[in-house]
Amino acid sequence: MDIYHPVTIGNLALPGNLFLAPVAGYTDRAFRSLCVDQGADFSFTELVSAESVIRSRPDLKVPEAPHPVNILLRPADNEQRYAIQLFGADPERIGLAAALLGPWRPAALDINAGCPVPKVVRSGAGAALMQDSANLGRVVEEAVRASEQFLGAIPVTVKLRSGWDSQSLNYADCARIAVEAGAAMVSLHPRTRAQGYGGRSDWTCIADLASRLSVPVTGSGDLAAAEEARRMLRETGCAAVMFARGALGNPFIFAETRALLLAQPYRPPGPGERLAAALRHLERLAADLGERRACVEMRKHFCAYTKACKLGRAGIAGGAALRNSLVHAETMEDYRRILEEAGLLFE
């Protein structure tokens, strides 16, 4: 099989195997839309609390309403297929939340069993589910039941870490239990919860899991360049790769990776093109959040875009000073003015 190929997840057929991972605080629908523009084959929302979905139930009848949860759940205008990722530790509450997702018509429902953030873990959710694999199975079962009853039997998928710490690498057991409970795909970020986002991910865990499961395995971890995605696909035998931090500020990584996998020519965008994309991101985010809040949210995104400019061979002179100006921008015009004064909007 070619290294770039379609992926089938339960009853969902995807045209390719380059996915955008859920990244809290970053993969808003505005950013996802840019990744889709650049060829992402599938994308995931930021993790969404099952409790927040349940509590906002009156608003769920109007998916376009500007409720914070609605904004997290809504697909981008160009997203033909996307997954909503839920987190929670109570199977019944996961099932109830999943049952309420119909208005958004997600193509899949993803269960987060890998988030290492303390406030998520303290609730028994995220990576804490891997310490209670039996409950993980019950969570998946309830999600599958709700999907079959209320969502047209869309596939349920699960995102795992390699384990809680180096002494409890139980990803294989957790994945087996999830699949037996009905999961149609398992995504693995092969770092432990104790590692957080430090150290290196262990791709041998992805290869091991891909050799064990009958469902697709998606690999994640340390994918900051197209060449690394190709190497993961070749070395691990995973069905798909999932870009996380490597895509932040760099939605172009999808087009670049696809071109590499298909042996097609590719011209990396220069700093001006990258920052023009950042302005489109800001405009789309402002349409969701309003200009004031979007401008605050975009400060971190613009820092990511300017750092990603180093991926282009030209780079940005005075990048640190530019970022210092951008993090003080308060309006869309501020952002445009700063970039224009730096001579970066047009190549």
The residues that are catalytic are 115
CB-based contacts of 252, cutoff 8 Å, min separation 6: 38, 268, 269, 274, 277
CB-based contacts of 324, cutoff 8 Å, min separation 6: none
C-alpha to C-alpha distance for 293 and 287, rounded to whole angstroms: 10
Take residue 294 and report the two structure tokens written for it.
Answer: 């979007």
What's the per-residue H, E or C state across 154-179? CCEEEEEEEECCCCCCCHHHHHHHHH
Indicate the helix (H) or strand (E) that contains 225.
none
C-alpha to C-alpha distance for 269 and 304, rounded to whole angstroms: 15
**What is the secondary structure of 265-327 as a DSSP string?**
------HHHHHHHHHHHHHHHHHHH-HHHHHHHHHHHHHHHHHHGGGSSS--TTHHHHHHHHT
Q: Note the Cα 28 to chain centre separation in Å.
A: 9
